[in-house]
A and B are shown apart, each in its own frame.
Chain A
Amino acid sequence: MATDLHRTVTPSGPEPAGDPTTDTPVDTAAKADQERPAAVRVQGLSRVFDGRRVLDDLDLEIAPGEFVALLGRSGCGKSTLLRILAGLDREISGTALVPRRKAVAFQAPRLMPWKRVWRNVLLGLDGSSADRARAERALEEVGLGERAGAWPKTLSGGEAQRASLARALVREPDLLLLDEPFGALDALTRIKAQHLVGEVWQRHGCAVLLVTHDVEEAVLLADRVLVMDGGVIAHEVDVALERPRSLTDPRFAALRAGLLERLGVDTSAAA
C-alpha cells in the first residue's frame, strides 16, 4: 500500500514558528491543520464499494482560493472523492470538512430539460435573491447572456457546459468541484472552456478541485496537481509556472512528462 507516500502529502509542512511547546511532530501537524484556513480538509477518508476500498484512509487539504487538479487512472476513485466532497455520497468513514457554499459542474451538463437556461441557473437558490437579472449576469460571465431564455435542447455541447458552469458560479461558491467538465467537448471548444475556467477562477477566487484525466489540462490550470492511486493521493506536484502558461514552455513539458510517468504512461515517445 502507498501508506508512506500519502503521509508525505499530509501537509505536516514546516513547523509553525510561534509554537515552541511542541512534544511530537505529529501533534504539531494536527495543530497546524486546525489553525490554517482551508477550503477542504479531509482526514482518514475511506469509502468501500462491495468490499472494495476505493478510498483508503485518504488525506487531502485544499487552501482557500487554491486550484487543485486531481489526476488518476480510470476507476482510481477520483470521481468518488469528488462526489463525497459534493455531499452526494455519505457512506463514508473518516472526516471530511467542506465549505457550506460549494458547487459542482459535472461531466454532462445535467441541465433540467424542462427549465429554460436562466431558470436552470437559479435552481436551488432562495426565491428572494433569485431573479432573472442575476441569472443573466452569471450567463453573461460565461458568454451565454443572449441564450438565457433558450431551452437546454437548443444549446450546443459547449454552450450547455458553460450554462452548467454559470449555474455553479451563480451561488458564489467557496469551493468549486469540476468533474471532468471538458471531457465531452471537442478539442477547440475544450481549449476555450479551459481558458474560461481559468479566468472565472481568478475573478471569483474560489478554491477549485478539478477532476480530469488530461495531464495537459491539469498542468495548464492548477496550482497543484495530485495523482490518485490505490485509494490515496499517491503523488503531488506544485506547478510553479507563472500564468498564463504556455504549452511550449520546457518546464511545462517536463512537468507533463513526470506526471504521465506517474500515471504509468510510457513517455519515451512523447519526450
Chain B
Amino acid sequence: MSIDHAPPDISPVSSLPRSPAPPRKDPELVPLAAVAGRRSRVPRWVRRTSGPLLLLALWQVLSGTGALPAGILAAPGTIARVAVDLVADGSLPSAMAVSLQRVAVGLLLGLVVGVGLALVSGLFRVGEDLVDASVQMLRTVPFVGLIPLFIIWFGIGEAPKVAIITMGVMFPLYLNVYAGIRGVDAQLIEAGESLGLSRWGLVRHVVLPGALPGAMTGLRYSLGIAWLALVFAEQVNADAGIGYLMVQARDFLRTDVIVVCLIVYAFLGLLADFAVRTLERLLLQWRPTFTGR
C-alpha cells in the first residue's frame, strides 16, 4: 500500500494553442506512517534507565584507562565492592534507616505546616492577609543559615535536623498549594455554588481537587529539598546517618565511601521521584493536559 510516487506526468499529446491554465501537475503523495509503527518498541523504563547506565559505563572506562585516578574518584567497580562491604557490616543500612526516618518526620511536619498555612491563606482572605506576608518574608531566609540557631535552640539531637528539613520542605509546599488553590477556575466554583454545594462542599469537591496539580508540584520540590536539607543537617554534629558516614569518610580520605553515600542519596531521591510520579498518575488521571509524545 505504500505509494511513494504519484503516477508520472501525463502531458497532453498534442500541443494545442496554449491554454490559459497550464496542465495541472499531480501533487506528490507521501505516505503517512501510522502512529503505532512510529512508536519505539523499547519499553519506557528501559529508555529512562539507559541514560544513567551510559554515564556509568563512561566512568568505568575513564577509571580503567587511568584517566581518572582512584585518589580523586574511585572506579565504579571499587565503589560497588565498598557498597557491598558497607551493607554487609550493617553500617549502611542502619545509617539509611536513621536518615530515612529524619526525612520522613521532617517531611510530615513540613507537609502539615506548609499545607495547613496554604489552606488558611488560600481559602480565606483574612488568612491571606495574616499569613502570606509573613511566609513570603520567612521563605527568603536561607534555611541552611538557621542551622546554628537551631542547634542553640534544640541542642544537637534529632530535633534541629528534623527542624531544618521541616523548614526546607514547608515553603515550596506552601507556595504551590496556595497557588493551586488560587488557580482554581472561578467558573467551576460558580458551578458548584449553583449546584447548592455548601462552603465545605466547595472546598472538598472543587477547590482541593483543583489545587491537587499544584500540590503535586510542591511535593516534588519538597522531596528534592528534603534530601538537600538532610545532607546539611547530618554534616553538623551528627553521630548517625548517611551524612555522618560521609563526614567520617572525609576524615579518612575514602572517596569510595563518599561516592557510595552520594549514590545512596541519588537513589533515594530517584525513589522519592518515582513515588510522586505514581501518586500523580493515580490522582491526576483526569487532567486533560499534554503528556508528551
* From A110, A114, A153, contact of B210 by CB (8 A): A114
Among residues of A, the one whose C-beta sits closest to the C-beta of B197 is: A124
Total A-B pairs, Cβ < 8 A:
54
**Residues of A contacting B188 with CB < 8 Å?**
110, 112
Cβ-defined contact, B187 with A108, below 8 A? yes
> 1/0 contact trace for A77-95 toward B, CB 8 Å?
0000000001110000000
Cβ-defined contact, B194 with A114, below 8 A? no
Using A152-B286, A153-B286 as known contacts, say yes or no to A110 and B191 having CB atoms under 8 A apart. yes
Cβ-defined contact, A114 with B196, below 8 A? no
A153 to B286, CA, bound (A): 7
**B interface secondary structure, majority:** helix
**A interface secondary structure, majority:** loop
Cβ-defined contact, A106 with B287, below 8 A? no
A88 to B193, CA, bound (A): 7
Using A106-B187, A112-B206 as known contacts, say yes or no to A123 and B192 having CB atoms under 8 A apart. yes
A167 to B287, CA, bound (A): 21
**Residues of B contacting A86 with CB < 8 Å?**
194
Cβ-defined contact, B286 with A124, below 8 A? no
**Residues of B contacting A108 with CB < 8 Å?**
187
Cβ-defined contact, B194 with A123, below 8 A? no
**Residues of A contacting B209 with CB < 8 Å?**
112, 114-115
Does A103 sit at the interface, judged by CB under 8 A? yes
**Residues of A contacting B193 with CB < 8 Å?**
87-88
> 1/0 contact trace for A104-132 toward B, CB 8 Å?
10101010111100000001100000000
* From B191, B205, B206, B286, contact of A151 by CB (8 A): B286
Does B35 sit at the interface, judged by CB under 8 A? no
A87 to B194, CA, bound (A): 7
Among residues of A, the one whose C-beta sits closest to the C-beta of B202 is: A124
Q: Size band of the B side of the interface?
A: 20 to 34
Cβ-defined contact, A113 with B286, below 8 A? yes
A112 to B188, CA, bound (A): 7
**Residues of A contacting B133 with CB < 8 Å?**
none
Measured CB to CB, the closest approach of chain A to B72, in angstroms, equals: 52
**Residues of A contacting B286 with CB < 8 Å?**
113-115, 151-153
A110 to B138, CA, bound (A): 38
Among residues of B, the one whose C-beta sits closest to the C-beta of A151 is: B286
**Residues of B contacting A115 with CB < 8 Å?**
205, 209, 286
Using A106-B187, A112-B206, A114-B209 as known contacts, say yes or no to A123 and B288 having CB atoms under 8 A apart. no
* From B187, B201, B288, contact of A124 by CB (8 A): B201
**Residues of A contacting B195 with CB < 8 Å?**
103, 123-124, 167, 171
Using A108-B187, A123-B205 as known contacts, say yes or no to A88 and B287 having CB atoms under 8 A apart. no
Using A114-B209, A153-B287 as known contacts, say yes or no to A123 and B187 having CB atoms under 8 A apart. no
Does B280 sit at the interface, judged by CB under 8 A? no
Among residues of A, the one whose C-beta sits closest to the C-beta of B287 is: A113
Among residues of B, the one whose C-beta sits closest to the C-beta of A104 is: B194
Max chain B C-beta neighbours (<10 A), residue from A103, A106, A113, A114: A114
A106 to B190, CA, bound (A): 10
A77 to B142, CA, bound (A): 52
Chain B, range 32-88, C-beta contacts under 8 Å to A: none
Task: List 10 A-B pairs, Cβ < 8 Å.
Answer: A103-B195, A104-B194, A106-B190, A106-B191, A110-B188, A110-B191, A112-B191, A112-B205, A113-B287, A151-B285
